[in-house]
Chains A and B, each alone.
Chain A
Amino acid sequence: MNRYFYYHVFYIGMMNVMLFVPFILIQNRFNGAVSGILLSIAIGTVMSIGTIRSYRQFPEMGLPEILKRFMPPWLVAVMLYLSSLLWLGGAVIVTYTFSQTIGMFFNPDMNHYQFLLLVIVASVFAGSRSTRTVQFANEILFWLCLPFLVFILAKALTNPYMSWDAVRVVAGYVSEFPSFKVLAAATFFFTGYLNLTLFNRLFPANFRINHLWAIPLLGAFFGFVSFFIPIGLHGTVGVEQYVYVWSVTADSMFLKYGFIQRVLFLFLIMFTLLSLMFMMNVFHASMEYIKASHPRSKPQPEQVPVPKTNWLLCSVFGALCFLFSLWANQGRSQWATGAWLSVRFLFEIMSFILIVVLAIIEKRRAATRPHSPPSSASSGQ
């Protein structure tokens, strides 16, 4: 079961490219990006491990069920709507960036709404499945991505044109203090643990997530790799001019003996898969939150066939993606991404505090329960 948790940690770590995280960090490479990444390792680790430990108090429960134990239904509904709105924001931005990137590098003559339609149809279908199906789909997509990831990383790190001097020069700016925006972007590498809010429903009651030491290592690895490899290949100054910085970085690598010369195409395939994975998870989580906001709803993680509500909700999400891309252009989507990352960071801190507080309350309740009413203790046995 451990692996189902770590798939999320992995793909969120890789997903950052689609949300302009490297771009934001690189814009601030002389103003605290390095220290921002270092600080985010500490923040991300504390939040991940704190959340994981808190969820141990709530076996087989997702966020909606936990909230319902402590709060009135209307408050729960408001909170669930807000959090699904937040995650949908991410999905909307990713669909837009994805259709732009693919349109730019695969076929610029094609109308990019067609790409959007393709990816939205796929995401609506994938997101509306049952939670168990989504969990298994994550596994399949992850293993499809991994060979590409390993190959591109190996290609980058063994590249003779990689300038380690440039990397060292930028690393020398470690003493600058990071801004809030940088910190918000850098902590995104660690956001994968938040899948617990939904997928904790599927973990059996006595299950504990192991290898927690891997979380800071993975987050730091993805953070440093996505920040430093573009700098090594495009220099400390030249790197700032690229908007799609990782697409250009992948294009700067060369396959001498492949069927194709441009690593770019492998990279784009990997990001098609990762975007689909992200969209699927976000659509699914938002859908489940909205369904759970109904006071009488019960979580049904293995419901087959899926009800009409799933289709309906996911189609609405898909329509939102379309509406965003009508409004957005490159500048606006960059602004929206920056704003979204900051809001997400604040939201993450608040939800971390909330879940820790709720876990402490739950622990006290559990500690007092066997003593006070003897009847409930006997019924528990």
Chain B
Amino acid sequence: MKRIVLALIACVLASGCGMKDIDKRFYVVTTGIDMTDNPEKPYRISLRLAITAARVESGSSRTEIQTVDAPSIAEGVRLLKSHVDKELEFGHCRMFILGKSLLEKATPETMSWFSRRRDIQMISYFGVGEPDALAVLKVEPKSERYPGNALFLSFGNEGTESPYTITTFLFDLVRKIKERGIDPILPIIRAHNRTYVIDKSVVANKQGQRLFLSAEETQLFKMTSADSSKSELVLPMEDGTRVVMYVSQIRTKVRISAGDAPTVRLKIKVSGVLEESAPELLEKDWHGLEQRMGQRFSKQVEELLVKLRDADADPYGFGLRYLAQHFGKDKEFKAWEASYPEAKFQVSTDVRITGPGVIR
């Protein structure tokens, strides 16, 4: 018994090394990476560091920003350690912002630093900063309760549930960069006064081109690719008023038929209630209104799909779906790649208006 106790004590003592107290660490809450014009030090790494405080209340968050230019991301982070007095800790950094300039020049290898570091969570969010990452980092939202949480809450339906905000996790980004038949899509974060605007997105295809999507296109994409409800369906009327439907449920089914020119069929089912409309419009022509809304939505989606196809971008993963549906291998994927620019799209939308809301 004595020996066991001695052994246990030895273990407890041994584990004391290597630990660093919480007040000797700097918690990185947001990391921004930009491209500079200097070819020798192409990366500009900016870290937003939390200044720990005892009290937590709205607006009490304080942060500090450190920036350095370096030849690689890893070297930059090491270099930054000499700029601060505490050990940098990435375990709580859940937001990475890539500058627009970086996005244009980055290779998949740039991403390897993020997935190689063990302390960077695979569930951290990625976004593109406009005009650059540093500008987004410099925003200090008034509503922040603790450092960095305004951005965390914006993504993943954790706080706000915006139909315009695309959420991309690190593991999702990495897999889509490598995967055949699907391209990564990233949200664009803009600094606006003391808050963030996240309503646009950018698709990066495998050829290294970037396609920017507007806010409306981003919403359409999010609705149809992620079955994201809490969005809206709009129908402008001839007399200038608009009928707006709140989407409470949306389901999209994708089928792809094989052939020389593959046809992608999207069947969308939407249901919801009217939020804004002229009085008694629904009672006059319930079914007609549903049909007109559906037709307009189908047309919008089809335009988006054609735009994506023409840019050779595939954020929906039609290529992967095609392979999955036909149990395809390399040969089938080559055939798909060759035929995708001529692919046809058929979108049909079935709109169900469950009611006009609380009033008639």
Residues on A lying within 8 angstroms of B by beta carbon are 104-105, 107-111, 114, 117-118, 121, 125, 160-161, 163-166, 168-169, 171-173, 233-239, 241-242, 248, 251-254, 256, 261-262, 264
Contacts and interface: CB of A to CB of B under 8 A. Distances in A.
Nearest to A165: B324
Nearest to B112: A241
A112 to B, nearest CB: 10
Nearest to B174: A238
A127 B61 CA distance: 52
B261 interface: no
A253 B94 CA distance: 13
B15 to A, nearest CB: 6
B57 interface: no
Interface of B: 4, 7-8, 11, 14-15, 17-20, 94, 115, 118-119, 121-123, 156, 158, 169, 171-172, 174-180, 182, 226, 317, 320-321, 323-325, 327-329
Contacts of A108: 118-119
A237 to B, nearest CB: 4
15 contacts: A105-B118, A110-B17, A114-B17, A161-B169, A164-B324, A165-B317, A165-B324, A168-B325, A173-B329, A235-B175, A235-B179, A236-B179, A237-B179, A242-B115, A252-B123
A219 to B, nearest CB: 25
B172 A125 contact: no
Given A104-B118, A251-B122, A254-B123, A111 B317 contact: no
Given A164-B324, A169-B320, A242-B115, 9 more contacts: A114-B14, A121-B7, A161-B172, A168-B325, A169-B323, A233-B175, A234-B175, A251-B121, A264-B121
B106 to A, nearest CB: 16
B320 A248 contact: no
Nearest to B179: A235
A140 B7 CA distance: 24
Nearest to A113: B14
Nearest to A250: B122
Contacts of B176: 235
Nearest to B19: A107
Given A108-B118, A169-B324, A254 B14 contact: no
A262 B121 contact: yes
A145 B14 CA distance: 27
Given A117-B14, A160-B226, A252 B179 contact: no
Given A110-B15, A121-B11, A261-B123, A238 B4 contact: no
A237 B11 contact: no
Contacts of B118: 104-105, 108
A236 B182 CA distance: 11
Contacts of B324: 164-166, 168-169, 172
B175 A238 contact: yes
Nearest to A170: B324
B327 A168 contact: yes
